[in-house]
Structure 1
Amino acid sequence: MSGPGNEALKQQPPDQQQRRDWAWPFWPVVPLYPYGRRRTLRREIIKDTVWVFEQLQGIFYVIVPIRMTVICLEGGGLLVYAPVAPTRECIRLMRQLESYYGPVQYIVMSTVTGIEHKVFVGPFARHFPQAQVYVVPHQWSYPLNLPLSWLGLPPRRSQYLATDSSQSPFADQFDYALLGPVRLGFGPFAEVALCHRASRTLLVTDTVMAIPAEPPDVLQLDPYPLLFHAREHGLDPIHDTPANRRKGWQRIALFSFYFRPGPLQVLGLGEALREARQAPDHSLKAYGGVYPFRWQDTWQQSFEHLWRGGRPFVAPVLQMLILNRDPNMVEAWVNRVAQWQFERIIPAHFEAPIAAGPLLFRQAFDFLGVSDDNDGSPLPTADVALLQQLEQTLSQRGALPPRP
């Protein structure tokens, strides 16, 4: 019996019931756009086997998909990796899957670092009281480290993932490998890669991703952020075309990975405010007309270098600030994951699924410099200038350990 498939894209103005279904009242805990209203898009990746649930999040319209993955277990039931905000809409879509494939049995909290992934696990788990919650070890919180129950996880059914994946209750269907902890001054980095053998699907959170050339479907539900960043200056009106959506998305990708890419000029406050007074839209939605950016013509070359034809890669911030602090440990993890037989990767952000197997996965970590198959494609110096400054500053202040 075939279950529910994809949700259709709907861009018409929402009615009152839809607004309630999209509401997420706890958004002040992680005050990211779109704040208290999160839409959910469900996509079926492998029929009756693998689904992704996508929402979006960002700062100042620099928005990206955030994704959880649901896998149907042999014999019935579901495993959920990296939950998203459990809005009414999200839970309704999950109940549809449960009605066809059985209840949620396992929920995996897949990382220790990304609060945007951790904050939803407890609220999500409360909707599925029969599910066991498995957590990546070395969890930490700021300013005090708290027990799992104090982080909102159900105390009697939450436990850390065992180092040996054969000890897990889903070991007959999944392999997993724990990365980390990579010791940092502010807290460790760790996450779990989970491989579903039957579908040949690898799940990761932040370690590997790829950029689609076109804006993801979940961002097309409300294209305003894409069009906001497609402008050349604050005096340009918002004009909705496929080309502008694509341009806005590609610039958002550069913001997301480099924070301040080389081709970007940021205006001074005075100049930005003077321009804003002449802007066609002074609404709160348009940030009062403030658009303090200028893009040089070379921005498309920067995007092409980052995109690399949609191949998987490791985000520059992880390359330069985190994973290079313990390259041998990371390389051992990469080698272990590359032993599995998978043909697609589903990360928690950007493109999914990525058509990639162990070879492309391994090549994404060539920057570590511990293997012999480096493809000779270093990150452009101008694009990573801000990250280099951050690395120097954080190292001087003891927030980053020295490179080995």
Structure 2
Amino acid sequence: MQNPFQPSDRALNPSDWRWPWWPLVPLYPFGQRRTIRREVVPDRVWSFEQVQGILYVTVPIRMTVIRMDTGGLLVYAPVAPTRECIRLVGELVAQHGDIRYIILPTVSGLEHKVFVAPFARQFPKAEIFVAPDQWSYPFKLPLSWLGLPKKRTHILPRDGSETPFSREFSYAILGPIDLGLGPFEEVAFFHWRSQTLLVTDTIVSVPENPPEIVDLDPYPLLFHARDRGDEIIEDTPATRQKGWQRISLFAFYFQPSALEAVALKQALRDALKARDRSRKAYFGLFPFQWKPGWKQAFDALRRGGNIFVAPILQTLILNRAPKETLEWADRVARWNFQRIIPCHFDAPVEATPEEFRRAFDFLKADETSQMGYLGSPAHPLPEADFTLLRDLEERLNKRGITPPRKTL
């Protein structure tokens, strides 16, 4: 049974998060889980970044802390409460008062849900507010059974009615969008004083260079910068950048068109030639090969740093409810924000409400395409890079696992 909340009665040392079963389920980081704190708006908004990944496809995961005018702090989308993280949060608490509110803004993002309960236990005075329609598989369990403190946990009102923080924040709930096994739902928060929009997964922006939190351990970057399994890579800024850009293509498309798989027999033969056949190097296995056009594919994905909706949300999630998604985007675009802080990839991103709204124009299907736009009408993403995602969508639909896409 999936248990997305794991309670803990103590702050966790980074070494507590070592993952011994990585050969079976290769979740990264395998060793220490570091935390970087950034001041986004002076004396008002801070981001806390850690790293997550699988098979060395490593990306940032982020929580945001905001100082309230009424005193104390609000936390959006907690990350792992390691000792380092709690120490960094504690420094803010010492200056600005206790954590008063903790927000879980999603119902399906396991990487966000898993840390809410242990994080909340470090701050016993905090009230926890969670997105409606929380679910677990295969049985829906009470939130208290999933580790959330019963007396301190509340469901965010779907109608946006008054909350203890409503004088300083507005929020808008997207969903629930039916995906078969469970719904997708996300809560966007807007902080009026700092004109900052907080989102979880719906909006992203990809930096050209590896984020600092990813750069702390360059091994995944160097691993993916190689063109062959036996290639010896020099650790340089250009090499790290190359590895990051390929990781980004992996993360968004799983198998972009610029990547081709190597036959298993050939991969095994190549592994025998590799100088590093350690467990860390996956015993020398490097079962893929990049085509010459991979850099152009990254540039098309990055779109000059503009915000966009991740391909997997375009093809498998938001197109199940295009009307509802656009209505949500219209509502969010009424807020006068100057920056967006997503939970993944780059942040903060300077963006206007108009740019936010345009990011969802892929849902406006034209007369010749049942899929609609890929990316946006002005900046389409390469059609070929969606091949695997479309194939996955077709298989899930045929097996009745997910409902079919809808058009406006």
TM-score higher than 0.5 here?
yes
Equivalence for 2:403: 401
Write the distance in 2 (CA, Å) between the matches of 1:229 and 1:126: 38
5+ residue gaps, structure 1: 1-19
1:304 corresponds to which letter in structure 2? D
Spell out the pairing of 1:98-113 with structure 2 (5 A cutoff).
98-113=93-108
Matched, 1:318 2:318: no
Question: Are the counterparts in 2 of residues 24 and 35 from structure 1 also a CA contact under 8 Å?
Answer: no
5+ residue gaps, structure 2: 1-11, 367-371
Equivalence for 2:379: 377
Secondary structure at the counterpart of residue 176 of structure 2: strand
* Cα deviation 1:148-198 (Å, max 9, x = unaligned): 111111111001101233411100000100000001111100010000000
Selected match of 2:202 from 195, 203, 207? 207
Pair 1:77–1:314, CA change in 2 (3 A): same
2:140 corresponds to which letter in structure 1? N
Write the distance in 1 (CA, Å) between the matches of 2:365 and 2:160: 26
Secondary structure at the counterpart of residue 130 of structure 1: coil
1:204 Cα offset (Å): 0.3
Pair 1:168–1:86, CA change in 2 (3 A): same
1:375 Cα offset (Å): 2.7
* Cα deviation 1:339-389 (Å, max 9, x = unaligned): 001010000000000110101101110100079995343332221100010
Secondary structure at the counterpart of residue 167 of structure 1: coil
Spell out the pairing of 1:45-64 with structure 2 (5 A cutoff).
45-64=40-59
1:111 Cα offset (Å): 0.4
Spell out the pairing of 1:230-269 with structure 2 (5 A cutoff).
230-269=225-264
Secondary structure at the counterpart of residue 385 of structure 1: helix
1:319 Cα offset (Å): 0.3
Write the distance in 2 (CA, Å) between the matches of 1:205 and 1:396: 29
* Cα deviation 1:38-75 (Å, max 9, x = unaligned): 11111111111011110001011000000000000113
Secondary structure at the counterpart of residue 384 of structure 2: coil
Secondary structure at the counterpart of residue 299 of structure 2: helix
Spell out the pairing of 1:357-376 with structure 2 (5 A cutoff).
357-369=352-364, 375-376=377-378
Let me know the Cα RMSD of the aligned residues: 1.8
1:28 Cα offset (Å): 7.8
Pair 1:303–1:292, CA change in 2 (3 A): same
Equivalence for 1:24: 16
Write the distance in 1 (CA, Å) between the matches of 2:121 and 2:332: 31
Question: Are the counterparts in 1 of residues 202 and 310 from structure 2 also a CA contact under 8 Å?
Answer: yes
Equivalence for 1:275: 270
Identity of aligned residues (%): 58
Q: TM-score, normalised by structure 2?
A: 0.91
Secondary structure at the counterpart of residue 165 of structure 1: coil
Equivalence for 2:3: none
Write the distance in 1 (CA, Å) between the matches of 2:141 and 2:30: 26
* Cα deviation 1:285-328 (Å, max 9, x = unaligned): 11111111211110011111110000000000000111001100
Q: TM-score, normalised by structure 1?
A: 0.92
1:24 corresponds to which letter in structure 2? D
Write the distance in 1 (CA, Å) between the matches of 2:101 and 2:316: 32
Question: Are the counterparts in 2 of residues 41 and 55 from structure 1 also a CA contact under 8 Å?
Answer: yes
* Cα deviation 1:220-260 (Å, max 9, x = unaligned): 11111001100111111131000000000000000000000
Secondary structure at the counterpart of residue 401 of structure 1: coil
Matched, 1:390 2:365: no
Question: Are the counterparts in 2 of residues 213 and 246 from structure 1 also a CA contact under 8 Å?
Answer: yes
Secondary structure at the counterpart of residue 195 of structure 1: strand
